[in-house]
Structure 1
């Protein structure tokens, strides 16, 4: 009985021992499993640390670059500020110059307007003087027409007026004998009619022009007048001298010879030649 009891006690102790061993082994395995899990977590954390550290280094590099960029922008800003100041100075100088130019132009415009106003006055004065001159010329023209009705009707004299130029055209037969340059008595009578009108004219120049036909001078007369130049000149001069002798101011007189080189008609007919042999007394404005 006692053996049975002892055996039971031993079995009981063994049972408890085995149970304790099983319990201790389970705890151990659990600890090992926890340790492995911790190792894996540690490895993962180490990887994450390295990644974060690398990212941090990249961020530091980015920050350094940004700092350099900021420094560069600061220098660029300083340069832009300096350039802007210089530009302001340039613009101010140009603005001052432009203002001065505008002021000068305004003054020039004012001066030109004054000159224009004066020019208009001068033009008006000249126009008025021209009208008065034309009126005087027209009056002279009318007086000559009235005075020389007889000669005009006989075709010995023609009188024309154009643009302030008055011309008394006298055929040579009225004034001269053939081949001569001295004014004949009947010619002096005709000239006197012209002189009576011209002697009152002080503001005109009087040109006496001698003209001939194209017939060459021959024979004994050629010794005195080698060409028509000399004959036309002598006739113009004699008429001019006579006008002077009758009191016309010589400073207003001029004698001109054209010879045969300024015809008013063809030299192929006697009538045309007769028209070309002439003395023209021309009134023109003084220069």
Structure 2
């Protein structure tokens, strides 16, 4: 490629030199022709001058016949001068012929030079065309090189950014690894504490069962005493009317909650001691990992508040429950554990119920984290069932006694 460039350069130089030589030769030939024309004009002018003098001499001879000798002498002198001029003219004509021959030779050489120059010009034009093509290719390659350099700069910037991101990611990974170690240690400690609490819980459960039996007996005795002070018919009618209102309210709430959650399980139930339990699945009240209640959740709690109007004498306990998965790192600054999340959800629900007009002294909020699961967690569906809010309605005043044949709902 470099050798072809040198050959093109040498060829261009030769063409330029040949063109310069042709121009110089053409200018020299023009100068010689100009000199020949000038000499020819001078000779013709001399002939004209001599002829004019001859005419004048003849006139003088005719006018001055008396001066014949003198005029003859002058004529002889003029004739001699004319002869000399004729000789000079013949010499000049000979020179002119020689110059004309030289001009012909020069014109032949000029024609040859012009033909060579034309050929060289064609070659030069072809070479110039090739040079233009090579320059265009060079410009395209320079543009491509510029684009590649720009792309390289962008890639260098992207690489630097990626390296910085990799460093940050590694640092975050190290932090998460440390947090994971700490979380595992805390989990092991919590498991040990849970084992101890489970042992204690079994004892408490036995004691609670005994207390529940005593509670039912006391409630029955109290209701019996109150019933004795009223007529039996009035007590039964009031009981049936109240239970009917409660049953209708809970049936309506059950239907509405199942339509919202698409759950097949029973969301409203009644325990043997008369406590009503209402389960609100997480997805119809809260977003995942959040205690904020949006518009859909507020509408759900409004339905609950409407149903609670049929339970004016009940204590309302709102209890938050989560699954067993730990809080994600991005939420740990707000909810370090599931205890904080479950308690925050219960408190948020209480605030919404208060805003609907329910008296604050009738309500309480409690968080149980993942300590009271409904089912064993084996997959996403079972974990979803354990994420919930439970609303428990405890009778606050024992002014009636439920007969044994009332159906639970």
Does 1:224 find its partner at 2:331?
Answer: no
Cα-to-partner distance string for 1:14-42 (whole Å, 9 max, x where unaligned): xxxxxxxxxxxxxxxxxxxxxxxxxxxxx
Contact 1:141 1:159 in 2 (8 A): no
Contact 2:320 2:388 in 1 (8 A): yes
Instruction: Give the aligned partner of residue 269 of structure 2.
Output: 160
- The CA distance in 2 between the partners of 1:259 and 1:131, in whole Å, is 42
Larger radius of gyration: 1
Cα-to-partner distance string for 1:104-160 (whole Å, 9 max, x where unaligned): xxxxxxxxxxxxxx9996164499779956863553232232245243242187111
Compare relative contact order (CA 8 Å, sep 6+) and give the higher one, 1 or 2: 1
Larger deviation: 189-198 or 129-138? 129-138
Instruction: Give the aligned partner of residue 186 of structure 1.
Output: 296
Instruction: Give the aligned partner of residue 136 of structure 1.
Output: 242
- The CA distance in 1 between the partners of 2:382 and 2:281, in whole Å, is 11
Residues 10-25 of structure 1: pairs in structure 2 closer than 5 A: none
- The CA distance in 2 between the partners of 1:223 and 1:210, in whole Å, is 19
Contact 2:254 2:267 in 1 (8 A): no
Contact 2:319 2:368 in 1 (8 A): yes
Q: How many residues align?
A: 170
- Name whichever structure is richer in strand by fraction: 1
Structure 1, unmatched stretches of 5+, are 1-117
SS in 2 for 1:275: helix
TM-score by length of 2: 0.38
Contact 1:141 1:161 in 2 (8 A): no
Does 1:279 find its partner at 2:389?
Answer: yes
Instruction: Give the aligned partner of residue 252 of structure 2.
Output: 146
Match of residue 172, structure 1, among 273, 277, 282: 282
Instruction: Give the aligned partner of residue 34 of structure 1.
Output: none
Cα-to-partner distance string for 1:217-257 (whole Å, 9 max, x where unaligned): 02120111011000000000000011111110111101011
Instruction: Give the aligned partner of residue 244 of structure 1.
Output: 354
Cα-to-partner distance string for 1:191-234 (whole Å, 9 max, x where unaligned): 11111121353211001000000000021201110110000000
TM-score by length of 1: 0.53
- The CA distance in 2 between the partners of 1:260 and 1:134, in whole Å, is 38
Does 1:254 find its partner at 2:364?
Answer: yes
Does 1:198 find its partner at 2:198?
Answer: no
Change (3 A) 1:226 1:119: closer
- Name whichever structure is richer in helix by fraction: 2
- The CA distance in 2 between the partners of 1:140 and 1:166, in whole Å, is 10
Contact 2:253 2:303 in 1 (8 A): yes
Cα-to-partner distance string for 1:143-184 (whole Å, 9 max, x where unaligned): 232245243242187111123111110111110011110112
